Amino acid sequence: MSPPGLTQLQVGVAYARARRRRFADRAALQAWQDARLRRVLATAPRRYPYYRGLAPTRLTDLPVIDKATVVERFADLNEHGLTLDACLAAARTAERERDFTASLGGVSIGLSSGTSGRQSVFLTTPRERARWAGEVLAKALPDGLVTGTRVALVLRAGGPLYESVGTRRVSFRFVDLALPVEAQLTALEDFRPTVLAAPPSILRLVAQAKVQGRSTISPGRVLSVAEVLDPHDEREIEAGLGCRVDQIYQATEGFLGISCRLGALHLNEDLVKVERIPLDRTGRRFTPVITDLVRTSQAVLRLRLDDVLLAADDACGCGSPTLVVDEVAGRADDVLWLASAERPGTRGPLFADFVRGAVLGAPGVRDFRVVQTGAATVTVAVTPPAAHDGAASALRATVRRAGLVEPAVERADFTPLGPTEKLRRVRRDPSVPGGPAVGLTDAR
């Protein structure tokens, strides 16, 4: 770990650069990306064995890879030659002992959540971690580093970064997601954050505690992280905490997006190049293929994510030309693929946001899980159980409106999540195949 003074200086430099970075229009943003992309392409063949023998001059000279490729060729896709087995062992030990200082050869090791079914790790150097902190601070605190800012992060995994980058103006507190909820609430009450970042499942509990008089915290900014922010969760959190819920879109692959001062979620196209695989005829719903323009410890070059994003129709009034996303609708394996009623012999998608809207709109449903377990079978678990029939009917009606064949709906028991599990209300079992991608285009 870098000495705190050095880390703070690096964070400060990254913060200042991010604050100064502005783009008049898409053309200026494109020029910025192109300059950094030229450097990425020039250095990739000598940094990463996976690209040896290539001489890319355009992004499309590189293959599109996915998480399976990253797992299989991990050592060839990082510049330190670290193996996945060695990194997983270090990261899992840190996770088990709740001591997030795991490193190999001076490189920090973070464990992915494994929600896609394939657990991997992400690597960062001290300089990259400092840059990340500076970028997040610049984008998360649009009014600047106001003295007395207290940032609480309720996360599954933390590290020395949070303790090392605090300054006289800004202090950080990591609250371990593995703690009992009451212990989390106590930690937040003691810290009294002005900025609160946590998964929406935790933000709901904090909001409920505030309504019930068990919490008195009043953060000025609330950021949803790590999980999909469902609209009904958003409304409950905003009502309970009395402020707007913004979002940080971050994954193992990097810091991908954050809400602007007006509340619109922008992709960080100054840090990553985004190409789109359209998932519908309009092209608004897409899976991103990302290329990191700044991080070098791991190759994130034309990496197809599992996420499903919904692009906004209009530009944002904040003035930033970066792409606005109306919703992070879930993962690709959160999409149900069912037989088409209009085109026999084919299948069509039912996206997770439609499933959530249908089931949560049924009378009495407080929470739910829907899992596609077979080509024509789904399980539905709701709380309270008495709301199951209404939820199942609402889901069937939504399936019909989408032009798909109703699946067999089986009742399942609603099981609360463990403290460090990510909330996924809708998912498709890995044994059930998904659908085809439409094509690949640059984000515009």
pLDDT tens digits for range 230-254: 888 899 999 999 999 999 998 877 8
Q: What is the number of other CB atoms lying within 10 angstroms of the CB of residue 229?
A: 22
Identify the pLDDT of residue 444.
41
Q: What is the C-alpha to C-alpha distance for residues 333 and 330, in angstroms, rounded to an integer?
A: 8
SS3 23: coil
Range 309-336 average pLDDT: 89
Torsion-angle region of 2 (φ positive above 0: left; ψ -120 to 50: alpha; else: beta): beta
pLDDT at 443 over 80: no
Secondary structure E strands in 94-212: 103-104, 107-111, 121-124, 149-155, 170-176, 195-198
Identify the pLDDT of residue 95.
76
Range 167-188 average pLDDT: 86
Measured CA distances, 281 to 21, 290, 341, 353 (Å): 35, 21, 18, 17
Contact between 392 and 409 under an 8 Å Cβ cutoff? The reply is yes
Structure tokens at 331: 């993962």
14-21 contacts, C-beta under 8 A, 24 or more apart: 14/130, 14/131, 14/132, 14/133, 14/134, 14/135, 14/138, 15/133, 15/134, 15/135, 15/137, 15/138, 15/145, 16/134, 17/134, 18/134, 18/135, 18/137, 18/138, 18/139, 19/138, 19/144, 21/270
Domains, the chain, ordered by start: 1-332 (3.40.50.12780), 335-442 (3.30.300)
103's CB contacts (< 8 A; 6+ apart) are 1, 90, 109
Confidence category of residue 441, pLDDT binned at 50, 70, 90: low
Measured CA distances, 345 to 342, 369, 384 (Å): 9, 28, 37
State the average pLDDT for the chain. 87
pLDDT, one tens digit per residue, over 37-85 is 999 999 999 999 999 999 999 999 999 999 899 999 999 999 999 999 9
Between strands 149-155 and 121-124, the pairing is unpaired
Identify the pLDDT of residue 161.
54
Q: What is the C-alpha to C-alpha distance for residues 114 and 55, in angstroms, rounded to an integer?
A: 33
Q: What is the number of other CB atoms lying within 10 angstroms of the CB of residue 405?
A: 16
Confidence category of residue 296, pLDDT binned at 50, 70, 90: very high
What are residue 129's phi and psi, to 5 degrees?
-65, -40
Between strands 441-442 and 272-278, the pairing is antiparallel
pLDDT at 396 over 70: yes
pLDDT, one tens digit per residue, over 417-426 is 776 677 888 9
Contact between 330 and 308 under an 8 Å Cβ cutoff? The reply is yes
Confidence category of residue 166, pLDDT binned at 50, 70, 90: low
DSSP character at residue 239: H
pLDDT at 353 over 50: yes
Contact between 378 and 372 under an 8 Å Cβ cutoff? The reply is yes
Q: What is the C-alpha to C-alpha distance for residues 26 and 322, in angstroms, rounded to an integer?
A: 7
Q: Helix count (H) and strand count (E) of the chain?
A: 11, 22
